[in-house]
């Protein structure tokens, strides 16, 4: 059996003249969380759709758990869980009915819907129709639905978009629990903080291409700058900013001067964020 | 395709169907629909009658009658006259014998034969008898001894008295089937627009499973309701198997129509706006039963004509397979075409 949960080679897809996914290749190890980052229209969802067998690649191939997706769609679906970007629950059914429906489609005989709903913090509302749920609750139910078959690979497409911090944190906890269980997580997100916190590695996607793929730490080392930021009190009593870039030859001297000659009010270190790095690599932000 | 998954999806579809309060609203809309139909029906009657005449003797006065609501056409033979009446080109046919002016046997009255289509209204028959006697009177200047014989070409459906409510049976059957278009279309369009179909397809369920479940739920709901209603109104008493086959084909036809509308409809309002024109068209043939002779040949271009006509003949007159097989064959053709085409466009939409 392959060491890699996901192996992508030269994957390509275009909508007419618009190239959505432009010959991308990458690998995801078993039990790894890969953050897939990029602005709207970068090709993230098309990539997920091809990896989950919902769209057939126009070029290249995707191999999940050692099986080529386009040739083993039905088999692969038994081992994956997908949480979609848009809420697509049966709103006139209860949370339990939604989960049981999907469990039955996977052919699961004994399924504890209550326990799963408790895991995502929906205990007490399990018999309410989904149409009465808040957005955060629906999103948690979406995540729960993607876990019904205890998937070996979990695809999460913007699972925390537009959620309040408490709901987002609940979903982060579930993702980490799944990794602990041994599942591989393919996470697309706009949220760089989320990706930084959860991902073992992150891939930056821009205009259909993967422009960087590494651990958050390595990307920060490679592309970001570390600095010491201080606020000092001047002779006139005003506050002024001072910034000393780290990892330079003159850094030590500058730090010494700061502490010797300035009246420091506050001081802290600053690391580059993934967003800074994305902008540096692509020349554009994630919002666009 | 998996029967187990189809069963699961089918129970899901039925569960969702019966949770929709919209069905209550649709009943209300149905009442409005009847009122609309009443007001869109023409308030005046086109009284032009096309009468075919086959005569072996010259009757010059006939040409003078070709005015004011009467259109006279001449048939070249008795056979042609009968065929034109059967095909509906003539409202009635008149066969005038050679000896009508001068009877060869003084003791024997000449026999003038009138031909009618099976659904020719009673008043047309009365009017035709009056017409031929008047025509001879005008020609001769006096009444002649004449015997008028009527022949109904095909099965005489008017001579058998049918209570008005029994005439409504085909309308009820078609209406019940057509109402299912709303429910099924809403169910499918919600599945597409709500992207729940995408969620289903992320599981081992295939699009074939989904379509099969939708087809079974659509046909099943429409068929069972129509059979129940027809049983209650006594429509199954005479030829139950023919009525069952007709209703089944009708249920499949309306399911195919639902597939078509689902491709366009996005929400409940658009389901209504797309369904209503289709519903109005499909229900028109029912009026040919309620008001015999009110509709002309173009109604045969509407697939439900063959459903209405078959149910009418089987339920109200006890017609057998030999009388309705052509109808059923044409209905089957329409159903197969519409169902397949609906499934095709819906599958494309899913993909």
Ordered structural domains, chain B, with CATH: 3-41+162-350 (no CATH), 49-152 (3.40.1710.10)
- CA gyration radius for chain A? 23
Decide: B262 and B188 in contact? Cβ < 8 Å: yes
The answer for residues whose C-beta is within 8 angstroms of residue A65's C-beta and 6 or more apart is A1, A2, A5, A76, A79, A152, A153
Decide: A56 and A50 in contact? Cβ < 8 Å: yes
Decide: B251 and B218 in contact? Cβ < 8 Å: yes
Residue numbers in chain A where pLDDT is lower than 50:
none
Cα(A51)–Cα(A63) distance, integer angstroms: 8
Residue numbers in chain B where pLDDT is lower than 70:
21-48, 65-69, 103, 119, 121-123, 154-165, 290-297, 351
Sheet with B70-74, edge to edge strand ranges: B70-74, B49-55, B92-96, B111-116, B147-152
Domain coordinates in residue numbering, chain A:
30-53+82-218, 225-270
Is there a contact between A92 and B20 if contact means CB atoms under 8 Å apart? yes
User: What integer pLDDT is reported at residue A271 of this predicted model?
Assistant: 76
The pLDDT mean for chain B works out to 80
Positive or negative: CA dihedral B203, B205, B207, B211: negative
| A56 interfaces chain B, CB cutoff of 8 Å | no
User: What integer pLDDT is reported at residue A153 of this predicted model?
Assistant: 94
DSSP string, A129-191: BGGGS-HHHHHHHHHHHHTTT--SEEEEESTTTT--HHHHHHHHHHHHHHHHHT-EEEEEES-
Three-state DSSP class for residue B52: strand
How far A217 CA sits from the closest chain B CA (Å)? 34
Q: For residue B3, give Cα distances in angstroms to A104, B190, B207.
A: 13, 23, 13
Task: Give me the helix-helix angle, B22-40 and B268-283, nearest 10°.
Answer: 40
Is there a contact between B194 and A88 if contact means CB atoms under 8 Å apart? yes
Is there a contact between B196 and A107 if contact means CB atoms under 8 Å apart? no
How far B30 CA sits from the closest chain A CA (Å)? 25
Task: Give me the helix-helix angle, B207-232 and B240-264, nearest 10°.
Answer: 130
Decide: A201 and A213 in contact? Cβ < 8 Å: yes
How far B225 CA sits from the closest chain A CA (Å)? 24
- In B124-213, DSSP assigns E strands to 147-152
Please provide the distance, in angstroms rounded to a whole number, between the alpha carbons at the two ends of chain B.
17
Decide: B158 and B292 in contact? Cβ < 8 Å: yes
Closest residue by Cα to residue B72 from B96, B51, B94, B88: B51
| A102 interfaces chain B, CB cutoff of 8 Å | yes
Q: Compute the 3-state secondary structure of chain A and give helix, strand, coil in percent, each to the nearest 5.
A: 35, 30, 35
For A191, phi then psi, to 5°, come to -85, 105
Would you give the DSSP letter of residue B60? T
Q: How would you classify the pairing of strands A201-206 and A33-37? A: parallel
| A26 interfaces chain B, CB cutoff of 8 Å | no
b/e per residue A99-115 (b: at least 16 CB within 10 A): bbbbbbbbeeeebebee
How far B307 CA sits from the closest chain A CA (Å)? 35
Per-residue pLDDT of A237-287, as tens digits, reads 888 888 888 777 888 888 888 888 888 888 888 777 778 888 878 776 665
The answer for residues whose C-beta is within 8 angstroms of residue B11's C-beta and 6 or more apart is none
Q: What is the torsion angle, in degrees rounded to the nearest 10, for the CA atoms of residue B309, residue B315, residue B319 and residue B322?
A: 70
For B318, phi then psi, to 5°, come to 70, 25
Cα angle value B25/B27/B29 (rounded, 5°):
70
| A131 interfaces chain B, CB cutoff of 8 Å | no
| B187 interfaces chain A, CB cutoff of 8 Å | no
Per-residue pLDDT of A111-136, as tens digits, reads 888 999 998 888 888 889 999 998 88
Decide: B147 and B185 in contact? Cβ < 8 Å: no
User: What integer pLDDT is reported at residue A142 of this predicted model?
Assistant: 92
Nearest to A88 among B15, B198, B203 (CB): B198
Cα(A147)–Cα(A122) distance, integer angstroms: 14
| A104 interfaces chain B, CB cutoff of 8 Å | yes
Closest residue by Cα to residue A172 from A150, A183, A182, A187: A187
Closest residue by Cα to residue B224 from B183, B180, B275: B180
Decide: A201 and A215 in contact? Cβ < 8 Å: yes
What residue of A is the nearest CA neighbor of B11? A101
Q: For residue B18, give Cα distances in angstroms to A79, B178, B265, B301.
A: 33, 17, 20, 34
Cα(B233)–Cα(B107) distance, integer angstroms: 53
User: What integer pLDDT is reported at residue B69 of this predicted model?
Assistant: 67
Cα(A135)–Cα(B36) distance, integer angstroms: 42
Which CATH number is associated with domain A30-53+82-218?
Answer: 3.40.50.300
**Which neighbouring-strand residues pair with B346?**
none
Cα(B211)–Cα(B28) distance, integer angstroms: 30
The answer for residues whose C-beta is within 8 angstroms of residue A266's C-beta and 6 or more apart is A230, A231
């Amino acid at each position: 059996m392959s060491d890699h949960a996901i192996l992508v080679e030269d994957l390509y897809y275009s909508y007419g003249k618009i190239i959505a996914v432009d010959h991308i290749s990458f690998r995801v190890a078993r039990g790894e969380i890969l953050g897939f980052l990029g602005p709207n229209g970068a090709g993230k969802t098309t990539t997920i759709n091809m990896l989950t067998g919902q769209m057939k690649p126009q070029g290249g191939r995707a191999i999940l758990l050692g099986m080529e997706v386009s040739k083993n769609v039905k088999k692969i679906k038994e081992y994956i869980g997908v949480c979609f970007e848009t809420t697509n629950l049966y709103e006139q059914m209860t949370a339990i009915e939604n989960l049981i429906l999907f469990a039955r489609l996977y052919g699961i005989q004994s399924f504890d819907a209550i326990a799963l709903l408790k895991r995502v913090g929906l205990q007490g509302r399990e018999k309410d129709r989904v149409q009465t749920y808040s957005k955060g609750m629906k999103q948690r139910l979406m995540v729960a639905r993607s876990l019904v078959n205890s998937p070996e690979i979990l695809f999460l497409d913007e699972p925390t978009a537009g959620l309040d911090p408490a709901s987002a944190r609940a979903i982060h906890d579930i993702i980490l629990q799944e990794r602990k269980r041994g599942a591989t997580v393919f996470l697309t997100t706009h949220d760089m903080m989320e990706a930084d916190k959860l991902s073992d590695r992150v891939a930056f996607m821009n205009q259909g291409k993967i422009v960087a793929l590494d651990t958050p730490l390595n990307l920060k080392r490679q592309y970001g700058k570390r600095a010491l930021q201080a606020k000092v009190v001047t002779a006139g009593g005003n506050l002024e900013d001072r910034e000393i870039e780290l990892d330079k030859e003159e850094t030590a001297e500058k730090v010494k001067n700061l502490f010797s000659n300035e009246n420091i009010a506050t001081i802290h270190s600053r690391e580059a964020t993934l967003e800074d790095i994305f902008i540096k690599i692509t020349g554009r932000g994630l919002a666009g | 395709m998996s029967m187990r998954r189809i069963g699961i999806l089918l129970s899901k579809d039925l569960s969702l169907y019966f949770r929709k309060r919209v069905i209550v609203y649709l009943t209300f809309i149905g009442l409005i629909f009847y009122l609309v139909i009443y007001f869109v029906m023409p308030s005046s009657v086109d009284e032009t009658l096309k009468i075919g005449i086959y005569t072996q003797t010259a009757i010059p006065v006939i040409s003078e009658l070709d005015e004011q609501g009467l259109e006279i056409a001449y048939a070249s033979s008795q056979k042609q006259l009968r065929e034109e009446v059967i095909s509906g080109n003539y409202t009635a046919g008149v066969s005038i014998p050679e000896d009508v002016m001068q009877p060869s046997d003084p003791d024997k009255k000449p026999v003038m034969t009138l031909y009618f289509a099976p659904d020719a209204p009673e008043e047309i028959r009365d009017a035709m008898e009056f017409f031929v006697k008047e025509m001879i009177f005008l020609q001769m200047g006096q009444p002649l001894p004449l015997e008028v014989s009527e022949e109904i070409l095909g099965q005489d459906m008017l001579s058998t008295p049918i209570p008005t409510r029994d005439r409504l049976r085909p309308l009820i059957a078609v209406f019940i089937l057509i109402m299912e278009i709303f429910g099924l279309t809403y169910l499918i369009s919600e599945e597409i627009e709500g992207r729940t179909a995408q969620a289903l397809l992320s599981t081992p369920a295939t699009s074939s499973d989904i379509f099969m479940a939708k087809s079974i739920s659509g046909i099943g709901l429409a068929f069972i309701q129509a059979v129940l209603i027809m049983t209650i109104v006594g429509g199954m008493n005479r030829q139950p198997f023919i009525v069952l086959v007709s209703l089944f084909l009708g249920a499949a036809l309306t399911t195919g129509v639902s597939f078509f509308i689902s491709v366009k409809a996005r929400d409940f309002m658009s389901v209504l706006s797309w369904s209503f024109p289709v519903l109005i068209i499909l229900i028109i043939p029912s009026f040919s039963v309620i008001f015999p002779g009110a509709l002309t040949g173009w109604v045969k271009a509407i697939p439900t004509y063959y459903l209405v006509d078959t149910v009418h003949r089987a339920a109200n007159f006890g017609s057998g397979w030999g009388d309705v097989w052509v109808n059923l064959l044409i209905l089957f053709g329409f159903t197969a075409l519409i169902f397949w085409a609906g499934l095709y466009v819906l599958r494309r939409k899913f993909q």
